[in-house]
Amino acid sequence: MRRIWLIFSQTVTVAVAVVFVVSTFRPQWIQSISWRQALPGPTVAVAPTPASGAAAGKSGTVGASFRLAAQRAAPTVVSVVTSNAAARNPRRGDQWFRYFFGDQDGQPQSGVGSGVIVSPEGYVLTNNHVVDRMDDIEVMLTDGRKARAKVIGTDPDTDLAVLKIDLDRLPAITFGNSDTLLVGDAVLAIGNPFGVGQTVTAGIVSALGRNQLGINTFENFIQTDAAINPGNSGGALVDVDGNLVGINSAIYSRSGGNMGIGFAIPVSTARQVMDSLIKDGQVTRGWIGVEPRDLTPEIAETFNLPLKEGVLITGVLHNGPAAVGGIRPGDVVVQVADTKVANTAQLLNAVALLRPGQSAKLRVQRGGEALNVDVVVAKRPHMAVSPRQDSDEQ
């Protein structure tokens, strides 16, 4: 036993001496040994993410890749280049007119935005403010092709427009479902920011149902932190499968650049507007002729109302649909047809979806009494006012 112990001690002493000598004179030999591979340890299996798919599984990399979504959606996103020749004053040649009033000729305008090809027939969805009052519109594809675009229809109330180009072999984006989006879902924004060329940025859904921002008349924005900058307007917001879920429309910024707060029009709204513009050249919406405001707890307490949510009617247009149906100032609307409404934006959207000429049942609270009022919906008139002013009347 003693002999075995002596042999073990000598062996350990020699091994330590060898390690000391090697680490002193040849340290690179020690560093070249992969101790992680030499020592046994637990094996961790990493499942591929929906965005990375089998490619990530084969490479063994950890983390999501959105390249498949980008490759699928990017060819359908186009650049929209616009210009507007300045209107020339017919008296520009009169030297006395120019002496007193100066040169009245305006400066030409131009801009660069984005759009999304939504059908192989050449229909392109974009923002109304990208093409508004522009004479010449050119669409440029990622494959280098260009084409003049014709405006099929515009809808300033949602800031959407549909263009048409005549080219063959056009890629078309696949529509997703914006109603299934949840806060935290990953999204990509694709467009042409600042005219530098097509750019893909990634982020998440930061919020849903943003309204009362004063951007459009009908607001139900998807908020995202994916980088959106000037020039992205009209571009695509897509999910991790490359399906269209929104049209990038606006940003909140104090500097003019991205600050992590961007807004996109849900594809559910965009598709409805697009179908109407392609079919009729305009969007027809319902209207009942009331002036609403959100019901606050203070107002509910003042009028001793037995509810906390709804829309207070502060004014009714004389001989308008609501007045004829029996709606009075002071009524609180809590439901339009089958849709419950808790604020002015929801009332506006619910009424707009009604078909002009049909009768709709409104659930209202009048003091301590709950009533059902039938109103024959009229067609929403086109009002030449700003979106925030326009939203004050339904």
At residue 294, φ and ψ (nearest 5 deg) are -65, 140
SS3 assignment, position 251? strand
Tokens of 344: 């002015």
So what's the pLDDT on residue 392? 41
Tell me, what's the pLDDT at 13?
79
| Cα pseudo-dihedral 154, 335, 288, 348, rounded to 10 | -30
Counting Cβ atoms within 10 Å, is residue 204 exposed (0-12), middle (13-18) or buried (19+)? Answer: middle
Q: Extract the tokens encoding 248.
A: 């990038």
pLDDT tens profile 292-338: 988 888 888 888 888 888 899 999 999 899 999 999 998 899 999 98
Q: What is the pTM of this model?
A: 0.68
**Residue 384 confidence (pLDDT):** 47
Low-confidence ranges of the chain (pLDDT < 50): 32-62, 384-392
Kindly list the domain boundaries of the chain, sorted by start residue: 74-164, 178-280, 286-390
Superfamily of domain 74-164: Trypsin-like serine proteases (2.40.10.10)
Instruction: Report d(CA 229, CA 257) in Å as an integer.
Output: 6
In the block, tokens 């990493």 appear at 46
Tell me the pLDDT tens digit for each residue of 126-183.
Answer: 999 999 888 899 999 999 999 999 999 999 988 999 999 999 999 999 999 998 999 9
Which amino acids are annotated catalytic? 129, 159, 233
* Residue 131 identity (one-letter amino acid): V
Please tell me the predicted confidence (pLDDT) of residue 301. Answer: 82
Do 74-164 and 178-280 agree at the fold level?
A: yes
pLDDT of residue 103: 56
pLDDT at 201: 94
pLDDT at residue 40, as a whole number: 43
Backbone angles phi, psi at 44, to 5 degrees: -110, 125
So what's the pLDDT on residue 123? 96
Residues whose CB falls within 8 Å of the CB of residue 301, separated by 6 or more in sequence, listed in order: none
What pLDDT sits at residue 70?
93
Q: What is the pLDDT of residue 383?
A: 56
d(CA 54, CA 71): 15
| Beta strands 146-148 and 136-140, pairing class | antiparallel
Q: What is the 3-state secondary structure (H, E, C) of 348-379?
A: HHHHHCCCCCCEEEEEEEECCEEEEEEEECEE
| Cβ neighbours, 10 Å, residue 342 | 15
Q: How far is residue 190's CA from residue 193's CA, in Å, rounded to a whole number?
A: 9
pLDDT value of position 42: 39
Largest CA distance in the chain: 124
193 membership: H or E segment, kind and range: none
Contact 274, 164 (CB under 8 A): no
* Residue 115 near residue 163, CB atoms below 8 Å: yes
Q: Mean pLDDT in the chain?
A: 80
Q: Among 294, 247, 232, 280, which residue's Cα sits nearest to residue 79?
A: 232
Beta bridge pairs of residue 262:
224, 251
Give domain 178-280's CATH superfamily: Trypsin-like serine proteases (2.40.10.10)
Amino acid identity, position 376: V
What homologous superfamily does CATH list for 286-390?
PDZ domain (2.30.42.10)
Which secondary structure element, helix H or strand E, spans residue 27, and what is its range?
helix 27-31
Q: What is the Cα–Cα distance from 286 to 149, expressed in whole angstroms? A: 31
* CA separation for the pair 263, 237 (Å, rounded): 10
Asked if 250 contacts 262 with a C-beta cutoff of 8 angstroms, the reply is yes
Please report the pLDDT score of residue 60 as a whole number.
38
